[in-house]
Structure 1
Amino acid sequence: MLHKFVIFETETGRITGTVTGSRRSVAHALPPGRAFMAGTADPAQHRVEHGRIVPIGLASKKSKERGLATRDARARRDRLLADSDWSQLPDAPVDRSAWQTYRAALRDVTEQPGFPQQINWPTKPGREESK
């Protein structure tokens, strides 16, 4: 049986198109980062939010707050990375491996399950004098 579906970006809820087909055929053809749901919508006027198709101008307060929290968390992460750039210089008197691990953990904070509301920020390694 054929149905009408909207295709949307899983991260943003932006509708990227509509399609008619079976659930199986639509699911099989989805590119990474996209999902689908039954229904019809105008991509210029609607988005998907919390599993529902909603008008773009009516984004929920919670969605806006999440956007601000995401922006702030990424800015903090970027500052911490910039503040630790020096640790990767060849003559930096530090445990380079520990700093690489710390910087990798900073880059991965956006992948944490509670991001952006609950972030387990990595601990900065202590400076060690070279011998």
Structure 2
Amino acid sequence: MIAAIPLLILPFILYNLGMMGILGSGGVAVFEDTVMSMTMLSGAVWTMDVGDLLIVTALMLLFVEILKATRISSKALMDHLLSMVLFVVFLVEFLLVANAATHVFFILMTISFIDVIAGFSVSMRTAGRDVAIGL
């Protein structure tokens, strides 16, 4: 059952903890804190904020979720159902909570939507290969 829990719940929880001020400076301002900056060969300075790091983490977890969608088991349906529930929670929070109306949260919500669509698509494609029609 634990394997069916969508991994994208981690960025969702981290965003909400940051939004409540538990992770740092308080409110959504924590996502604008600089994690690192680097001077490029061109002379431009590239910076990574906490929000950017959260998005990169969510993208890595999306990759793992898509790999999970290729497995064929009874847990796959529960995994897709929970991913859909997580996307709906993302959407409701985005529409109803003022601090969730940020570009970081919107991108996290979009990643969750891609997880739902990709999960169903990959599972349907994989299941189609497993069906053998005997003559």
Larger RCO of the pair (alpha carbons < 8 Å, separation 6+): 2
Fold conserved between structures, TM > 0.5: no
From the two aligned structures, give the one with the greater helix fraction.
Answer: 2
TM-score after normalising by structure 1: 0.29
TM-score after normalising by structure 2: 0.28
From the two aligned structures, give the one with the greater strand fraction.
Answer: 1
